[in-house]
Amino acid sequence: MATIGWYGPLIDLSEASSHTGHFVQLLVLVHKTLPVQYKSGKVIRTDIQVGDDTRPYFPVSIWGKPMESMLKPGNIVLLQNVKITQFGDAVEARTVQQSSIKCLVDKYELIHSEGANKLIKAHHIGIASKEKLKKVIAWVLRVEPNLDKHVSHNFKRNQKSANWKFPVEMQIKDCKSLEEVSNLKDSCDASVYASVGEMFLPMNVIHLPEFEEERMFIRSRIFSSAYGHLAEDLICTGCQLCGAPLSSEFGSRIEEKSVPLYCQKSSNRLHIVGLIYRPFLLYVWDSSTYIPVVVKNKAAEILVGNIKAESVHCSYRKQAHGASENDAMEDQGLNFYSLWLILLKTILQPGMNSPLKFKVRVDVTKNWENGRFEMLSLSLPLIFQNAN
C-alpha cells in the first residue's frame, strides 16, 4: 500500500527497508517505550518498539521531550514524516524536525469498549489511513492474547531512597525477569537473562550542542562512520579496580560528582591508576521491561571479551599515527582495536542477539540512572556452553 502523504507515503512496516533515507508515515501499535536520559534527567531520545499487521516488531527512535510525552505502551499512533534509516543490517525509523505524532487509540483495550468502527470514524484522517487503522485494529484483536506479555508500562524511576544501607551481606537472587529485578525492595546481587538494547555514554559537558547529542549513543555510531573517535570517548585515565575516572576532562559521571579520594575496592584504599573504560549505561531488555545497568571498567572488560582498555588504546593509537593494521598485528600479535570494534558491533546488533545471563548488583538507595543496577559479570546461557 502507498498513499502519498505530506512528505512521503503511508507504508506497511514490512516495506520499510525499501524506503531507507526517505520520509514515510507509519500507523502502528506501540509495544514498549525506552526513555534514554541525560544525567540531569533531560530526555534526549526515546526508543520505542512498534508493530502493525505486516510486521509485529519494528524499532523507532523518538527525539525530543514533546513527542516522547505523547507515547505510552498500548497506543495506536500515526507517526508522521519519520525518516527510515539503516545501521548495518538493521533498519529503523527516527523522528526529525518535521515529524509529528497523532494518537488514534489511547489504549488498545478500548477496541472492545468503544468498538472498532467508532474508533475509526472518530478521527479526521484520510481514506488510506482509515483503511490502515482498520487493518491494525484487526491485527490487534487477532494477537491480543499475546500482547499483555509484551506491552509493558514504564516503572517509576526516581523513587525516594533511604539515607542508610542495610548492614548485611549481599544475597544472590535468581530472577525470572527484569521486571522482578526492577521491583526488588532490598539491596542484593541478582542474576537474570536479558538482551542488550543500547549503550549510552553520559557526557559531563554542561552545554552540549544538539548535533553532538548523538555522540552519546554508541549503537548508532558503531554502525556508521562516526566511530572514528569512539576509543577516545570510551577510554580514559582512572582506577583499574573501582573504575572511577580520575580526570575532569570530557567523559561520564554516572555516580560520583567529584573524583573519589579513596578506592573502595583496594585493601589499602589506594587507586591503581591506568587506562580504563569510562562508566556507561547498558540498556538491557526482556519481554517484561528494560533496565539501565551501569557498567564500569572490570565489567566492561568482560563485556568485550576480556580485552583491557590499555590494549585497545595502544592498538588504536598505532593505527591513528599511520601504522597499518598488519603492522599493528605484527607488533602486538593481535589488532585489539579492530577486534574490539567487531565485538561491540556484535553486542549491539539490533534484534540479532540471544539473551545473556547478567549478574547485577542492586542498590535500592540509588535511582535508575545513578547506579541502582550495576553489572558484575556476564555469561552465555548454558545451552550455548553445552553446544561448544
Q: Tell me: the pLDDT tens digits for 130-142?
A: 899 889 988 988 8
Note the maximum CA span of the chain.
Answer: 72
- Domain 3-150 identical in fold to domain 172-387: yes
Residue 279 scores a pLDDT above 70: yes
Residue 22 scores a pLDDT above 90: yes
- Quick one: pLDDT band at residue 380, thresholds 50, 70, 90? confident
Mean residue pLDDT of the chain comes to 79
Quote the CA–CA distance of 343 and 339 in Å, as a whole number: 6
Contact residues for 356 (Cβ-Cβ < 8 A; gap 6+) = 193, 194, 195, 196, 378, 379, 380, 381
pLDDT of residue 24: 95
Quote the CA–CA distance of 246 and 300 in Å, as a whole number: 17
* CB neighbour class for 213 (10 Å; exposed up to 12, middle 13-18, buried from 19): middle
Higher pLDDT, 123 or 337: 337
Residue 286 scores a pLDDT above 60: yes
pLDDT of residue 159: 41
CATH code of the region 172-387 = 2.40.50.140
Q: Tell me: the pLDDT tens digits for 114-125?
A: 666 777 777 778
Q: What value, to the nearest 5°, has the Cα angle with vertex 218 and ends 213 and 224?
A: 95
Of 108-112, 162-166, 238-242, the least confident: 162-166
Compute how many other C-beta atoms are within 10 angstroms of the C-beta atom of residue 59: 18
Whether 365 contacts 162, CB under 8 Å: yes
Compute how many other C-beta atoms are within 10 angstroms of the C-beta atom of residue 37: 18
pTM flag (> 0.75): no
CATH code of the region 3-150 = 2.40.50.140
Quote the CA–CA distance of 3 and 5 in Å, as a whole number: 6
Mean pLDDT of all residues in 335-356 = 84
Residue 176 scores a pLDDT above 90: yes
Q: Which grid coordinates belong to 170? A: 549481599
- Quick one: pLDDT band at residue 384, thresholds 50, 70, 90? very low
Quote the CA–CA distance of 191 and 181 in Å, as a whole number: 9
Residue 80 scores a pLDDT above 90: yes
Whether 77 contacts 57, CB under 8 Å: no
Of 298, 288, 280, 287, nearest to 222 by C-alpha is 280
Q: Which grid coordinates belong to 172? A: 544472590
Distances (CA, A) of 148 to 65, 140, 142, 302, 385: 26, 11, 13, 34, 32
Strands 356-362 and 188-200: antiparallel
Question: Which range, 52-56, 64-68, 253-257, has the best average confidence (pLDDT)?
Answer: 52-56
**In the chain, where are the structural domains located?**
3-150, 172-387
The SS3 assignment for 127 reads helix
Mean pLDDT of all residues in 222-232 = 78
Mean pLDDT of all residues in 35-55 = 79
Q: What percent of the residues of the chain are helix, what percent strand, and what percent coil, each to the nearest 5?
A: 30, 30, 40
